[in-house]
Structure 1
Amino acid sequence: MGNKRVVADSSRCIGCQTCMAACIEAHDIPGNIAAPRLRVTRTYEISAPVACHHCEDAPCAKACPTGALFFDPKNHRIGVNEDNCIGCKSCVMACPFGAVSVATTQVPVLMGDVRVGSQTKSFVLKCDLCVDRPGGPACAEACPTKGLTLVDEERLAELTAERARATIENEA
């Protein structure tokens, strides 16, 4: 079985950014950064969310010098270990889809249980498929037009074949 991913149907996307808001809300928990792991891009006539493709041969994970990005066989995705991120942005440069970013935030410096200051910490931001969320990806659940779907490689191949047939029929 191949990796899973969230795919966007640009013909259904209305550019409302509800997916981004749902993603922020899903990650607004202690120890995480409340920031979207996908972004809506727009051209003159089309808008569509861009999210991690969880590539089988993930360039982002290969480029990461610390193992902050890794293949997660249990969840069929490219996972993130935030503790290993050093903020070098090699993953950002390696991603062919522009679906990875790095953010920084202030984290407490503790001496035992006492906070003695704070320091800047970098975090990789990319789609994690909301694996800890029982309903699956928050973005797909929140999309008002059902333009986002969680698929595996087999379903992706079926969708690609369906779109190819539709294109051929429309051109005939």
Structure 2
Amino acid sequence: MYELSYIDSLTGLYNRRAFDKDAKKSFKSSNLFFCDLNGFKKINDIYGHEVGDQLLIEVSKRMRSFIDSKGTIYRLGGDEFSILLNKNDNVDVHVFINELFEIISESLLISDVVIHISISTGYSVYPVDGLILEDLIRMADKRMYQAKFQYKNRNKV
């Protein structure tokens, strides 16, 4: 019953329900990150949902390996993820985001197709960005969408 309630069946990561429960308990002792894959819908549209699902599985493996015991990863739905990263590890959030981007951006071979994907990530830190969980979620989400906007417009004049 626990797995059905708190584990994402595709990726094996914790799900949104687990995030909601864990974030309420640990938002003061964790840095919060929201992540969204760039170009995922296009990959699903071109190559189909089977390739999209395999991509989500591979991205999840990369994230899990990168984060290891420093925090917990959640698949919130679709191509959206959240990370609660332990503050005890004194991780610089900007360095963390850049390293995560580099790891996710490495090309993947799925079903004889080379896939290039990247990730947009936003963050919030208690108490600098808010004193309650809802404010921290809003700030991380806002920063994620700012990163996504910058990514989409990086080649435009």
Superposition TM-score, scaled by structure 1 size: 0.25
Q: Which has the higher helix share?
A: 2
Kindly name which structure, 1 or 2, has the bigger radius of gyration based on alpha carbons.
1
TM-score (norm 2): 0.27
